């Protein structure tokens, strides 16, 4: 079973959340949809790796989680990504970067030291200063409806390039994750439909089965054995 030890926001304009977790024993694990890219450091069987994960557009069962593992993640803000690894190339997948030494990995021809939760902001700022981490401000402006000087087609193109998914897909994913949070907190299915902005229960059920991999009733009653991947706090996009 994977236990989440820490989840915290960051003052960095590039970071959405920083999280840490570890596993004790083995349990079924379900990776749920996510709109953002994630930088994940894994410590397992004495080996450390860095994986860059892209957006996930569906829930994916991953079998049993490994025992005695440790993970630390930097969840990037929507529209922030590593320039050498555009989100569109990482859709529904991830890339583990090659190891340089026991405590460094290769990225764009240079060896980088594995970050920790204590220096995550410094690590990300270094990536940004080197030009390896980029952020398109059009993404946030588009979600807030504040674009005035670009055509809808240009906005759609910029959004897709910077996130790997469409605006509509990003909104659907965040709404499903928000509904999951409500249900896990014991909010009724009826109230979740109203709060998260679904049309009716079939609409909610279809969305959660696709993006979360469970039905509203299963989430409400915690009746499935699968553990969900990191469910950061969120609200639906405007």
Q: Which residue has the higher pLDDT, 62 or 53?
A: 53
pLDDT tier at 165, thresholds 50, 70, 90: very high
Same domain, 120 and 21: yes
Same domain, 83 and 188: no
Same domain, 15 and 103: yes
Same domain, 25 and 105: yes
Q: In which domain, by residue range, is 123 found?
A: 2-133
Spatial CA neighbour of 81 closest among 104, 108, 53, 101: 53
Residue 232 lies in a domain: no
Residue 235 lies in a domain: no
Spatial CA neighbour of 216 closest among 174, 195, 173, 187: 187
Same domain, 21 and 125: yes
d(CA 179, CA 97): 34
> Is the model's pLDDT at 13 over the cut of 80?
yes
Residue 124 lies in a domain: yes
Q: 5: helix, coil or strand?
A: strand
pLDDT for residue 206 = 98
Over residues 173-203, the pLDDT tens digits come to: 999 999 999 999 999 999 999 999 999 999 9
Residue 233 lies in a domain: no
Same domain, 46 and 124: yes
Residue 181 lies in a domain: yes
Domain count, the chain: 2
């Amino acid at each position: 079973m994977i236990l989440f030890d820490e989840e915290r926001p960051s003052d960095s304009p590039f970071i959405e959340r920083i999280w840490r977790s570890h596993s004790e024993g083995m349990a079924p694990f379900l990776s749920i949809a996510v709109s953002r890219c994630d930088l994940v450091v894994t410590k397992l069987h004495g080996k450390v790796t860095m994986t860059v994960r892209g957006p996930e557009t569906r829930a994916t069962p991953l079998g049993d989680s490994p025992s005695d593992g440790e993970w630390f993640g930097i969840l990037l803000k929507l529209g922030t990504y590593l320039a050498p690894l555009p989100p569109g190339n990482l859709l529904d997948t991830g890339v583990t970067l090659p190891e340089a030494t026991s405590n460094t990995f290769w990225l764009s021809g240079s060896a980088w030291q594995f970050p920790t939760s204590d220096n995550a902001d410094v690590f990300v700022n270094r990536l940004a200063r080197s030009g390896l981490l980029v952020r398109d401000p059009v993404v946030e402006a588009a979600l807030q409806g504040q674009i005035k000087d670009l055509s809808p087609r240009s906005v759609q193109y910029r959004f897709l390039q910077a996130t790997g998914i469409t605006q509509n897909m990003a909104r659907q994913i965040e709404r499903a994750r928000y509904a999951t949070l409500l249900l896990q907190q014991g909010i009724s299915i009826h109230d979740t439909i109203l709060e998260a902005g679904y049309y009716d229960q079939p609409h909610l059920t279809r969305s959660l089965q696709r993006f979360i991999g469970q039905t509203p009733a299963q989430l409400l009653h915690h009746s499935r054995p699968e553990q969900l991947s990191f469910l950061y706090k969120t609200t639906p996009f405007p």
